């Protein structure tokens, strides 16, 4: 790695090799050449003066790209597409006269961008499925483990550790639906020409509209697409970029929610992210176990969420059939969003694979708050014994305030049960009151909800994408 030039941390520290390849020069420019082959083949099949020999020559040289020569041509021509036309043509002298025939730069540029976005979403989909699978295992293992629920980060009714994990998974399933929708609806630009009128192709085919339409249908099929955009200017609508990056930002939102919850749970010492044997939590405080992986998820997620603004503004400011102020921006905003989400999912899978639960700490926190939560059941029991509901409600309110002061002001344990046992209005012994102190009695349908969710919502997804579950987990670079 060069040390005297800037390099994106997404490349050197965070993103996986497979996502980096998707947005590499090799992938981009070999896709350009595949598109030129598809164009030449379709033109030949539809009767233009393109020979099989020329198509074969183009196909034979898809992968041997001379980047130094391309850079020389671009310096001379100040045009990246024409630089690569000439570079390709030098390798394919017989085909040189028909490379890019009738096309404009966006034929290779925009069509390639759509292809890369679709392949990027397919990779994201596989990683999403793997994260969901890891969380599903965690949820099932902990479906009946009572834990404090929180509203406003204040102790509320009990939930279970596994039930909380279903909340994370549910949002990821929503994201997966969005990814699937984007993949299914992405269309190629096709061969639309300089202002989207296909005038150059209509001229080549001597006014035959059906051949012009069949040309881009053939190209789409060869590139693995069912359809092309129905109308365009020179470019496809930049709303396509916005929609894709928005989908990625949705994943970032869900991941950040998960990671934020994990950071809070780590503070509570209830659930922690993996911590390796030789990992250092702090350069100054050797005892620390900072949730650095979840913090990194939040950090990268913030970038992706903000990045949505780029294609949004680009879409809003395109002039008529096209301007070029989209180009430099989309070279950054779209690939970087993919690289960042790839990194987020890599880290999230790593964390979800090794979550550390501390049941004794969880139980301690539950028991500290359980007397308050049990108060309604205690009151009902006392009413059955002949007590006055309104009087008992007031007594519990007063005693709860006293117990709360003991905890908050004096640092003592929650003694609400002792206070109730000492109050003759209730007529209950401490042993009788303790019967109300079983946490599992306060988790409602949590275990059943987890089981139903995993069976009805998660299992069909894992079955549909079971091949993704055999992928090796991406090793974190740092």
Specify the residue for token string 């130094």. 68
Whether 146 and 448 have beta carbons less than 8 Å apart is answered as no
From the list 144, 224, 208, 172, the residue with the least C-alpha distance to 341 is 172
In a domain, 322, yes or no: no
Is 86 a residue of the active site? Answer: no
Q: Decide: helix, strand or coil at residue 357.
A: strand
For 406, the domain range is 361-442
In a domain, 344, yes or no: no
From the list 342, 164, 303, 314, the residue with the least C-alpha distance to 238 is 314
Alpha helices in 142-160 (DSSP H): none
pTM score, whole prediction: 0.93
Distance (Å) of CA 463 to CA 139, 158, 466: 18, 32, 5
In a domain, 70, yes or no: yes
Final residue before a domain boundary, out of 75, 98, 121: 98
In a domain, 339, yes or no: no
Exposed / middle / buried, residue 253 (Cβ in 10 Å: 0-12, 13-18, 19+) = middle
Distance (Å) of CA 297 to CA 105, 300, 432, 471: 37, 5, 48, 21
The DSSP letter of residue 228 is B
Q: Which contacts qualify for 284-293: CB closer than 8 Å, 24 or more apart?
A: 291/259, 291/262, 291/263, 291/266, 293/259, 293/347, 293/350, 293/351, 293/476
From the list 161, 123, 128, the residue with the least C-alpha distance to 252 is 128
Catalytic member of 282, 413, 434, 440? 282
Give the integer Cα–Cα distance in Å for 21 and 458: 30
In a domain, 477, yes or no: no
In a domain, 74, yes or no: yes
Final residue before a domain boundary, out of 37, 68, 98: 98
Angle at which helix 239-268 crosses helix 161-185, to 10 degrees, equals: 170
Give the integer Cα–Cα distance in Å for 64 and 60: 9
Helix (H) or strand (E) holding 112: helix 105-141
Distance spanning both ends of the chain, measured CA to CA: 15
Give the integer Cα–Cα distance in Å for 365 and 360: 9
Q: How many CA atoms lie within 13 A of 426 on its CB side?
A: 26
Tokens of 158: 């009990």
Give the integer Cα–Cα distance in Å for 209 and 226: 20
Residues whose CB falls within 8 Å of the CB of residue 353, separated by 6 or more in sequence, listed in order: 134, 274, 473
The CATH number of the domain holding residue 416 is 1.10.40.30
Exposed / middle / buried, residue 445 (Cβ in 10 Å: 0-12, 13-18, 19+) = exposed
Q: What is the tens place of the pLDDT at every residue in 267-313?
A: 999 999 987 655 555 555 555 578 999 999 999 999 999 999 999 99
Whether 160 and 145 have beta carbons less than 8 Å apart is answered as yes
Tally of domains in the chain? 2
The one-digit pLDDT tens for each residue of the chain (478 residues) are 668 999 999 999 999 999 999 999 999 999 999 999 999 999 999 999 999 999 999 999 999 999 999 999 999 999 999 999 999 999 999 999 999 999 999 999 999 999 999 999 999 999 999 999 999 999 999 999 999 999 999 999 999 999 999 999 999 999 999 999 999 999 999 999 999 999 999 999 999 999 999 999 999 999 999 999 999 999 999 999 999 999 999 999 999 999 999 999 999 999 999 876 555 555 555 555 789 999 999 999 999 999 999 999 999 999 999 999 999 999 999 999 999 999 999 999 999 999 999 999 999 999 999 988 888 888 888 898 889 999 999 998 999 899 889 888 999 888 989 999 999 989 888 888 888 899 999 999 999 999 999 999 999 999 999 999 998 888 887 7
Q: Decide: helix, strand or coil at residue 138.
A: helix
321-346: b or e for each residue (b if 16 or more CB lie within 10 Å)?
A: ebeeebeeebeebbbbbbbbbbbbbb
Is 434 a residue of the active site? Answer: no
Whether 38 and 350 have beta carbons less than 8 Å apart is answered as no
Exposed / middle / buried, residue 49 (Cβ in 10 Å: 0-12, 13-18, 19+) = exposed
Cα-trace Rg, the chain: 31
DSSP states of 299-321? HHHHHHHHHTHHHHHHHHT--TT
Final residue before a domain boundary, out of 71, 98, 125: 98
The CATH number of the domain holding residue 85 is 1.10.275.10
Give the integer Cα–Cα distance in Å for 80 and 232: 22
In a domain, 47, yes or no: yes
In a domain, 323, yes or no: no
Give the integer Cα–Cα distance in Å for 450 and 122: 28
Q: What is the tens place of the pLDDT at every residue in 178-214?
A: 999 999 999 999 999 999 999 999 999 999 999 999 9
Determine phi and psi for 400, rounding to 5 degrees.
Answer: -65, -40
* Strand 146-151, strand 271-272: pairing: unpaired
Whether 459 and 417 have beta carbons less than 8 Å apart is answered as no
Tokens of 186: 């992405």
């Amino acid at each position: 790695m060069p040390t005297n030039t800037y390099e994106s941390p997404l490349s050197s520290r965070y993103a996986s090799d497979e996502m980096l390849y998707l947005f590499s020069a090799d992938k981009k420019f070999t896709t350009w050449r595949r598109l030129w082959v598809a164009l030449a083949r379709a033109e030949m099949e539809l009767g233009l003066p393109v020979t099989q020999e020329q198509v074969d020559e183009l196909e034979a040289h898809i992968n041997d790209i001379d980047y130094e020569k391309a850079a020389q041509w671009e310096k001379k021509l100040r045009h990246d597409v024409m630089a690569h036309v000439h570079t390709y043509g030098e390798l394919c002298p017989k085909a040189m006269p028909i490379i890019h025939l009738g096309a404009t730069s966006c034929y290779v540029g925009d069509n390639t961008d759509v292809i890369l976005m679709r392949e990027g979403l397919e990779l994201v989909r596989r990683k999403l499925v793997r994260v969901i699978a890891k969380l599903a295992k965690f949820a099932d293992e902990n479906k009946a483990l009572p834990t404090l629920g929180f509203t406003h980060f204040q102790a509320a009714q009990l939930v279970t550790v596994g039930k909380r994990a279903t909340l994370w998974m549910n949002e990821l399933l929503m994201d997966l639906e969005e990814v699937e929708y984007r993949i299914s609806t992405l269309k190629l630009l096709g061969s639309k020409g300089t202002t989207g009128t296909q005038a150059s192709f209509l001229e080549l085919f001597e006014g035959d509209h059906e051949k012009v339409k069949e040309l881009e249908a053939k190209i789409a099929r060869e590139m693995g697409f069912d359809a092309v955009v129905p109308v365009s200017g020179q470019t496809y609508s930049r709303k396509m970029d916005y929609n894709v990056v928005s989908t990625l930002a949705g994943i970032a939102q869900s991941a950040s929610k998960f990671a934020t919850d994990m950071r809070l749970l780590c503070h509570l010492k209830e659930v922690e992210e993996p911590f390796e044997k030789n990992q250092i939590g702090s350069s100054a405080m050797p005892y620390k176990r900072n949730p650095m992986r979840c913090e990194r998820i939040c950090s990268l997620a913030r970038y992706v969420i903000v990045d949505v603004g780029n294609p949004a503004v680009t879409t809003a400011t395109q002039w008529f059939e096209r301007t070029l102020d989209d180009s430099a921006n989309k070279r950054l905003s779209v690939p970087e969003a993919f690289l960042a989400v790839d990194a987020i999912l890599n880290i999230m899978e790593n964390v979800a694979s090794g979550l550390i639960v501390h049941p004794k700490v969880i139980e301690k926190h539950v028991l500290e708050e359980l007397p308050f939560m049990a108060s309604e059941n205690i009151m009902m029991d006392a009413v059955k014994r002949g007590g006055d509901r309104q009087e008992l409600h007031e007594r519990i309110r007063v005693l709860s305030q006293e117990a709360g002061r003991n905890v908050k002001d004096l640092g003592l344990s929650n003694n609400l049960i002792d206070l109730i046992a000492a109050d003759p209005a209730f007529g209950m012994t401490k042993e009788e009151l303790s019967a109300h102190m079983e946490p599992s009695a306060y988790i409602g349908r949590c275990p059943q909800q987890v089981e139903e969710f995993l069976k009805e919502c998660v299992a069909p997804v894992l079955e549909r994408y079971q091949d993704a579950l055999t992928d090796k987990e991406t090793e974190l670079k740092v």
